[in-house]
Structure 1
Amino acid sequence: MCINFRPPDPAMLEAVMGVIIDLNDGGFWEDDTFKDRLAPIVRRGADGQREGLLASYGAVPQKRIPPGVKKFDTMNARSETVGEKRSYARPWQQQQLCLVPMISFDEPCYETGKAEWWRIAMADKAMFAVAGLWREWDGEHGPEASFTQLTINADDHPLMGRFHKPGDEKRTLVIVPQDEWEDWLDCKDPEYARGFLRRYPAELMTSWPSPRTPRAKKPKPETAPAPPQAVNLDFGF
């Protein structure tokens, strides 16, 4: 499923969602969000208003996985099992819901016979928000937040059904329509929340090839210089 996305910049986030994140205290976010990187999310604050904060991408950050436990990814939570899996069950049952703002996300397409990365966005290129869950951890300097994104089946979706390996189940992020943002954040009942987990209309979305910049290869270590040859200092005197 989705392993990276592009969040909006601070000005767009404020203009569209009305939240401001204090970057002096919370750091910053990058143009592309990958596993364990910080990105903005929006949740319901203690005062009842929308609250923006930076959170780590992946419900269980890699640094939180105990030593000796095989590493696993929690960037995407399957809606069918979200209430059962240990990584997501408590946030889901407690309805720790959030919106993950973004301007696009990437998926692999195999229509040419090999994996090619495509970018998915709204047809009008507007910012949108994905349904997510947040959780908090005790940090050295206070609570640290993390998040995951909810996914649903997309086997017969006209657009999202094009992505991922042939034969694999097709999945899509849950895009929450803007007029439902408040209702999603206000959900208190997991069963009621499931009513929001539906596929977004393909005609309101667009996609295009977006090849990734190849990672720079590590330079091969230079061959160690040959040791200096011994110099014969016997001049025959």
Structure 2
Amino acid sequence: MCSHYQTLKERDRYWRHFGVEPPLEPGKGDMWPGYLGTFIRRHPHADVEDEAVPEREALPGLFGLVPHWSLDTKITRHTYNARSETVASKPSFREAWKHAQHCIIPAEAFYEPDWRSGRAVPTRIARADGEPMGIAGLWSSWRSPKDETVHSFTMLTINADAHPLMGLFHKPTDEKRMVVVLPDDRYDDWLNASPEHKHSFLRPYPAPALQAMPASGVHATLSP
């Protein structure tokens, strides 16, 4: 499961790749559950057919979904990833999934532990072509006790037992998981996906299109 990822720090790079201006407070470079980052969603007024209204908008939000019924934001420690197999039924995520509150989470890379040496080696996983990642997620809004609207988001994950790269991470006895990295040309398709079509997006990103590098700076091999 992905609890640590790296955001885009350059506003121009954010705009060039995702076609939307980042919020004034884009968040921290290294993201952990409960941190303030950014997500991209379909603009709520995109259907008005006004050229002044963009198709997408970027908002600040907490990493970890805060459902409307939550008493506080501490739940983000447990809701930063949504399993595709249970997202439709789990109380924390089912409303966002039911109402197709899809989002894209901009990232430079995400991190997973490589246990092949017998100890956890933090490993940075990025696109091999150096381009940013658009990770499929869900967003939600929550009213705080101070009557403030707080946005939040979670990353969707899928099984990766058979993935040539992502199958190398986590402990040998653990199920292998990976976040859903969207193809660049499917961003708007994901944001607009209907309930009957959204499962088609939950597919593994090709291993040759990813690059893994331990924190030491030495490239990870693809062999178990």
* TM-score, structure 2 as length reference: 0.86
**In 1, distance between residues paired with 2:118 and 2:161?**
19
| Structure-2 change in CA distance of 1:12 and 1:205 (3 Å) | same
Q: Which runs of 4+ in 1 moved over 4 A?
A: 64-67, 69-72
Aligned residue for 1:53, secondary structure, equals strand
| 1:191-227 C-alpha deviation (Å, 9 max, x unpaired) | 310000000100111001016xxxxxxxxxxxxxxxx
Displacement after TM superposition at 1:60 (Å): 2.5
- Unmatched segments (≥5 aa) in structure 1: 212-237
Query: Is 2:162 the partner of 1:166?
Result: no
- What letter is aligned with 2:97? W
Displacement after TM superposition at 1:12 (Å): 1.3
Counterpart among 125, 130, 137 of residue 130 in structure 2 = 125
Q: Which residue of 2 aligns with 1:227?
A: none
| Structure-2 change in CA distance of 1:22 and 1:71 (3 Å) | closer
| Structure-2 change in CA distance of 1:180 and 1:118 (3 Å) | same
**In 1, distance between residues paired with 2:140 and 2:172?**
34
- Unmatched segments (≥5 aa) in structure 2: 47-54, 217-224
Larger Rg: 1
**In 2, distance between residues paired with 1:29 and 1:54?**
7
Mapping for residues 85-100 of structure 1, pairs under 5 Å: 85-100=90-105
Mapping for residues 50-89 of structure 1, pairs under 5 Å: 50-60=56-66, 64-65=70-71, 73-89=78-94
| Structure-2 change in CA distance of 1:111 and 1:122 (3 Å) | same
**In 2, distance between residues paired with 1:28 and 1:98?**
16
**CA contact 2:66–2:75 (8 Å) conserved in 1:** no
Q: Which residue of 1 aligns with 2:108?
A: 103
**In 2, distance between residues paired with 1:55 and 1:169?**
29
Displacement after TM superposition at 1:96 (Å): 0.2
CA root-mean-square deviation: 2.0
- What letter is aligned with 2:39? I
**CA contact 1:136–1:144 (8 Å) conserved in 2:** yes
Aligned residue for 1:146, secondary structure, equals strand
Q: Which residue of 1 aligns with 2:50?
A: none
The number of equivalent residue pairs is 204
Aligned residue for 2:31, secondary structure, equals coil
| Structure-2 change in CA distance of 1:78 and 1:46 (3 Å) | same
Displacement after TM superposition at 1:22 (Å): 3.9
Q: Which residue of 2 aligns with 1:232?
A: none
Counterpart among 155, 161, 165 of residue 155 in structure 1 = 161
**In 2, distance between residues paired with 1:51 and 1:125?**
24
**CA contact 1:96–1:135 (8 Å) conserved in 2:** yes
* TM-score, structure 1 as length reference: 0.81
